[in-house]
Amino acid sequence: MASIPVIVKHQGTKYEVEVDPESTGEIFKFQLFSLTGVEPERQKVLLKGVLKDETPMSKFALKPGQTIMMLGTPSSEGKDLVRPSEKVKFVEDMTEAEAAQQEGAIPAGLANLGNTCYLNSTLQTLRAIPELQDALSKYEPPSQSSTGTLPQLDLTRQLRDTYKQMSETQEAHVPHAFLTSLRNLYPQFAERSRTGAGYAQQDAEEAWSQILSQVRQKLRVKDSTDATSDPSFIEKYMSGEFTSELVCDEPAALEGGEQPIASKDAFLKLNCHIDATTNHLRDGIVNGLKEQLEKRSEVLGRDATYTKTSKISRLPKYLTVHFVRFFWKRETQKKAKIMRKVTFPHELDVVEFCDDNLKKLLIPVRDKVREVRKEEEDVERARKRRKRNGDNGDDVPEASNPKKKDDKKEASASADGDVEMGETYKTDAEIDAERAAQVLAMKKELNALIDPDLAKDDGANQSGLYELRGVVTHQGASADSGHYTAYVKKTAPVDTKTGKRKEEDGKWWWFNDDKVSEVTADKIETLAGGGESHSALILLYKAIPLPTAEGTME
């Protein structure tokens, strides 16, 4: 049946409306809502009486051009509705750079320029550090006249430009300029292949270390506690400190009066040394914190064996862990690979590797973090249990754990006139509000436990706990062959209305050169090694976030 054009008059304004005779009064009211902003429940349509939602419009035998009166005003909520300040733009109308910034966009891959997967995986993992992205965007290279360095050889500048270009596309980026700069600075990466044409495969860990070395020299950041200071980005966010003690293994040296030698050394990575007893990352880190070396003993008058034992005295916000899987094999003249399976956690607790002073600061915070998490898990379990049992109403007591309202009694009269005292219970909403307030108070207590001096160091870890954010993997039997890829945990998108990050979905991006795909966290569990398949070579951990003084998460 054809629609009928009518005129609706509301507050002195006339609206032309097409009415479908087969529709109902409710649909007609929604048409008027879209024109006037008056919600259907607040409308009074005068049409042979007041129009009801369920009334079919065919009942009124409307004629073309007929005038209908409508009364009603928008609610306060309706008055708050305003036209968007920015015009809605659809993806097909966006530029390539705008589309790459949208929620759900697939990040750019990197083209393989001939055995450059070692570099691609390194660049993708380092890109997972948002503070590095921010610092690079502000980096202004010094003039050539002051440094004598050609702009194209400034590796930090090339890193800045590479990441900027990657952020503006979903297509594979060709990192030719960065690779040229790297090979000019470090000729080892320009080594030609011995087995055929083109360049040789390289070690991703060596590329990682050399890139950080260059960035360490060039990229400075402002110190939030000292306006006159501009520390290196790497030293602030990615560099830790060892407190070490060197002791001669021979008793004669100690008996002769030789004293242990104490020292402090910066480190950019923790090494996980793998031997026949190493099964877990912790075992390998313990191995890496103790080493033997030979040096001259002045007391003995000859070379002697010394043991150097290290403890961590500063933890960086971003911790790099290196699986020492490659060693020089004399027979083959190649870097052979240790295939042993070594598991690693998604959350790493490094408190046991710290010196006593740092432990005292970290342990109370770490333990409180676990206490808060347990409380949050208990609250969530109780909520799910009530939902599963159907007890999710505001006026239904919690069946599994009824709580009396401060021992208050409610009086009621029985049949014989006696007054009975009945028990009343807290509603689910009241229980949830109390538990939420309790969790908030615990988070405030957690923030108060952070040592003031440690809190000032925003580039340090303040709890001793880390979450895994990136993994560089290697597939093959030696460092000079095989294939490197990277896994990077997806970050939660920012809510455009609140400016806060949403919850993460726990999934990861797998960067295999120019191919980018999404994988679940289960895939990370398969990267422990045990053969020539993909095994973790570098892990990038980030300090877990801690609540502010108000108990909120940043």
Judge whether residue 215 has pLDDT over 70. Answer: yes
Per-residue pLDDT, averaged over 508-526, amounts to 96
Indicate the pTM of the whole model. Answer: 0.77
Which stretch, 39-43, 337-341, 347-351, 431-435, has highest mean pLDDT? 347-351
Specify the pLDDT at position 333.
66
**What backbone torsions phi and psi does residue 132 show, to the nearest 5 degrees?**
-65, -45
| DSSP reduced 3-state for 422 | strand
* Average pLDDT of every residue of the chain: 87
In 3D, which of 284, 454, 236, 268 has the Cα closest to residue 363? 454
Judge whether residue 400 has pLDDT over 50. Answer: no
The radius of gyration of the chain's CA atoms, rounded to the nearest angstrom, is 33
Return d(Cα 74, Cα 76) in angstroms, integer.
Answer: 7
Burial of 427 (0-12, 13-18, 19+ CB in 10 A): middle
Fill in the amino acid letter for 520.
T
Which residue do the tokens 């896994």 mark?
Answer: 487
Specify the pLDDT at position 398.
42
Per-residue pLDDT, averaged over 352-359, amounts to 96
Return d(Cα 322, Cα 487) in angstroms, integer.
Answer: 15
232-266 tens-digit pLDDT: 999 999 999 999 999 999 999 989 999 999 999 99
Which residues, listed in sequence order, are joined to residue 307 by a DSSP beta bridge? 247, 292
In 3D, which of 476, 468, 453, 480 has the Cα closest to residue 538? 468
pLDDT band at 394 (very low <50, low <70, confident <90, very high): very low
Specify the pLDDT at position 21.
87
pLDDT band at 150 (very low <50, low <70, confident <90, very high): confident
| DSSP reduced 3-state for 215 | helix
Per-residue pLDDT, averaged over 295-320, amounts to 95
In 3D, which of 442, 140, 477, 509 has the Cα closest to residue 334? 477
Alpha helices per DSSP H over 219-345: 233-237, 251-255, 281-288
Residues with catalytic function:
117, 483
Return d(Cα 145, Cα 143) in angstroms, integer.
Answer: 5
Per-residue pLDDT, averaged over 158-167, amounts to 95
Residue 470, H or E segment: strand 465-475
Which residue do the tokens 């401060």 mark?
Answer: 406
Dmax over CA atoms of the chain, in Å, equals 116
Judge whether residue 152 has pLDDT over 90. Answer: no
Token duo for residue 421: 């005292």
Per-position b or e across 158-174, b if 16+ CB within 10 A of its CB: bbbbbbebbbbbbebbe
Which stretch, 147-161, 237-251, 375-389, has highest mean pLDDT? 237-251
Judge whether residue 546 has pLDDT over 70. Answer: yes
pLDDT band at 336 (very low <50, low <70, confident <90, very high): confident
What's the angle, vertex CA 80, arms to CA 75 and CA 84, rounded to 5? 135
* Contact of 97 with 165, CB cutoff 8 Å: no
Which residue do the tokens 């070395």 mark?
Answer: 213
Token duo for residue 204: 């991703």
Return d(Cα 442, Cα 375) in angstroms, integer.
Answer: 9
Q: What is the length of the chain?
A: 554
Return d(Cα 155, Cα 174) in angstroms, integer.
Answer: 16
Full 3-state SS string of 15-57: EEEEECCCCEHHHHHHHHHHHHCCCHHHCEEECCCECCCCCEH
Residue 453, H or E segment: helix 452-456
* Contact of 33 with 40, CB cutoff 8 Å: yes
Specify the pLDDT at position 148.
65
Token duo for residue 279: 């099964």
Strand (E) positions, 338-403?
Answer: 347-349
* Contact of 491 with 507, CB cutoff 8 Å: no
Full 3-state SS string of 128-154: CCHHHHHHHHCCCCCCHHHHCCCHHHC
Strand (E) positions, 166-283?
Answer: 240-248, 261-267, 270-273
Specify the pLDDT at position 151.
73
* Contact of 318 with 540, CB cutoff 8 Å: yes
Judge whether residue 412 has pLDDT over 70. Answer: no
